[in-house]
Chain A
């Protein structure tokens, strides 16, 4: 089964097939909508997960999805820990299109996520679930991946204060806040949003660690030293046989 045969399969995304071919490339902003299901792990006492999810979603968005509404689904624990979205603080391109779903139980949130993914009129779906609820196991995660890839709606699932359990997300990020660059006019003020983002598992790209800045468009600079010297990095999901001259 060669790469062309796989990439013509409707359930396999383009980037996934490219990754199978052996050319697993570094992730960078502006790659386009190759991945439909991403998970973002972040602490619950900061809005870094939601901010990074929206920035990545805007970065991936197609031009023809420009004026579609999008869903933000929160379960009760996520609302209690991190609050609700605040319209004046949302990115200007997104604030008038938000539809917010306040679910009580994680099961309800998962139901709403799947219904949202099946909808053809949505630009993308953002979910926010706190902790590691029993309902969000590998099966539920797999259901979400299949629904997202079948209908082509990107899903950004934010996991607040969660352990890295089993999941079928195509890209899994660990995001924390990072010190922001100093603004030019007031060096004592907080600057543009910055996050320290670690891509620790991806089907299509090599793992990596970046400092993301929401500089409209999204900017990323590598946080890891480019040549780790004689230290061998953890293998992660990479193939050990790969020639990593590009890293």
Chain B
């Protein structure tokens, strides 16, 4: 039903935009909060939580009291919840979704008998499997145990995933096979902050505060044996506005002087307004970094900087995309045989290059059209004009024919015949003829100059 139809039926309907990512984030934070009732918890998207309360119920005065406590705590936060406790996650899910309110299944109860009256939807199955079971006339869990197990196993013999096979789900529910769950683990980003007694409006004071924060967070990261890859500097202004500056480093670091230096370039355009009253530095992304001898700025001055620091300094001024490293890419097309990626990453696996291919030292960003005098239809070039100058071709090698990649190009793309040439003054170029005369893919072939040879 569309929204307009729904509004026509019920004009006072309340509408909210759907936010699945926000819902998942909320569920994650709720899962962390729910660890007050048990040592670990797992997500059951889109709207469920599984909490392991094994051996923890007596802390709340028994299982009924635990459920009551959870129901009150959730209701106080405006959340409607259905709760159940059972020996397995599958049984607890079935009771919470289809059983009575706040049901408790003890370890000595007969699970197969107690849960026999629940519908088969309690098995967490896919919709098409539920439809199939309903067509087979199997409506309750008890109906499944009334059938010979080999008959059901034969029926679902090629369903490997648990959500498509009712027998696996039934075994999980009864605790016959294990069901591993992925626990949610809270992760604290290292954080340092300074509340300022007097709002600051000047750059020198802000630099002082940032230097103090960098010292703090470096000490914190050192304690964790971690280095920061990404840092966020938040400035809370008096008028309530928040300015965030982010920084990403090429390698994990916790050198305060380096952090201060990188942030200095990012703080130039900040308008302090009536003043900044709170400065906070967070490291949302950290990586393990072993302890090492401290690199003093004097040492960098005397013995030079490390490669990662050099790349960071260049990237902060010129932008992340300016510092790149070429890697080979599996393609025959010359401009596609090379890709650019960030430096300091491990090189991707690649095939060895063919040694008999002579490639130019430099490749133009776009091949430039040239006017060529050549022996038609496919002879060697004799003379060409490029950028207003006429070059007499003294020597040429070719053609090296490179066909278009038919599996990714459209059918009208023409093949290329590459020639390595040297003109009468010794300048060496790499040129190609785009297409053949009479190949049915356009008019007369055009020539392009693509590379400059050393």
Contact = CB atoms under 8 A, between A and B. Distances in A.
Contact of A47 (B310, B394, B453): B453
B361 A90 contact: yes
A24 B213 CA distance: 56
A179 B358 CA distance: 17
Interface string A113-125: 0011011111000
A242 to B, nearest CB: 33
A99 B344 CA distance: 9
Interface in B361-412: 361-365, 386-387, 389, 394-397
A214 B453 CA distance: 12
Nearest to A47: B452
Contact of A189 (B314, B362, B389, B420): B420
Nearest to B357: A88
Contacts of A85: 326, 361-363
Interface string A94-122: 01101111111000100110011011111
A163 B432 CA distance: 33
A190 interface: yes
Nearest to B324: A100
B428 interface: yes
A173 to B, nearest CB: 15
A79 B322 CA distance: 12
B360 interface: yes
A28 interface: no
Interface string B332-374: 0010011010010001000001000111111111000000000
A87 B454 contact: no
A178 interface: yes
A64 to B, nearest CB: 15
A153 B424 CA distance: 37
**Which label, helix, strand, loop or mixed, suits the secondary structure of the B interface?**
mixed
Nearest to B326: A87
A151 interface: yes
Interface stretch (B17-25, B40-48, B266-274, B301-309): B301-309
B428 A104 contact: no
Contacts, number: 177
Contacts of A87: 326-328, 337-338
A29 to B, nearest CB: 16
Interface string B296-323: 0000100111110111011001100111
Interface residues of A, number: 55
Residue with the greatest number of chain B CB neighbours at <10 A, chosen from A90, A95, A99? A99
A238 interface: no
A119 B306 contact: yes
A34 B449 CA distance: 38
A108 B317 contact: yes
A54 interface: yes
A19 interface: no
Contact of B395 (A89, A118, A188): A188
B426 A99 contact: no
B318 A180 contact: no
Contact of A193 (B323, B365, B428): B428
Interface in A181-227: 186, 188-190, 193-194, 196, 214
Nearest to A187: B395
Contacts of A186: 397
B427 interface: yes
Contact of A101 (B323, B338, B422, B454): B323
A85 B454 CA distance: 11
Given A47-B454, A55-B454, A188-B397, 8 more contacts: A47-B453, A82-B364, A86-B360, A88-B359, A100-B325, A119-B307, A176-B426, A193-B428
